[in-house]
Amino acid sequence: MATGDPASIAREIIDSNSFMTLGTADASGLPWVSPVWFATADYRELFWVSRPERRHSRNLRERPQLSIVIFNSQVPIGAGEAVYLSAVADRPEGSELDRALEIFSDRSEAQGERRWARADVEAPAPLRMYRATATEHFVLDSNDNRIPVSLWAGHGPAR
């Protein structure tokens, strides 16, 4: 892991990656992981779109708690850096959906893609907008230990 302020390292990892891996579980506890393209404006709320019938989406309906990891898979062995999150997922609605679409579209356009609209994530469209609200963030130290970090002010410390 790079040296420096753990919170700054976590922000840099999140900012420099386009995909995060969701760790979900069904009602019986059977785990499932899924990579998704994501956007965030504050490191606390992370947004993605998915089909509601996909396994990870079904799992989140049954059990909204999830874990997330964001990492660069292109670094050499032993040089990995990652941010680990504990979070709770939901589907934003109303004005929250409008805000989510704005954040998602800003990141999409910054990466050369299109703007998103309600028509892209509401029936009869096949995709829906999802949000994970982080309750904990961690980064790895030089001994491969998870170090809690707080990435947002006024929302209490990470555990």
Beta strands in 5-157 (DSSP E): 19-25, 31-37, 39-40, 45-50, 65-71, 82-90, 128-140, 146-149
Per-residue pLDDT at 138 exceeds 90:
yes
Per-residue pLDDT at 155 exceeds 50:
no
Side-chain half-sphere CA neighbours of 76 within 13 A: 0
Among the listed ranges 9-18, 56-65, 101-110, which one has the minimum average pLDDT value?
9-18
Helix, strand, coil percent content, the chain, rounded in steps of 5 = 25, 35, 40
Alpha-carbon torsion (94, 100, 106, 110), positive or negative: negative
Domain boundaries, the chain: 6-147
> Rounded CA gap, 87 and 137, in Å?
9
CATH classification for the domain delimited by 6-147, as one of 3.40.718.10, 1.10.10.10, 1.10.390.10, 2.30.110.10: 2.30.110.10
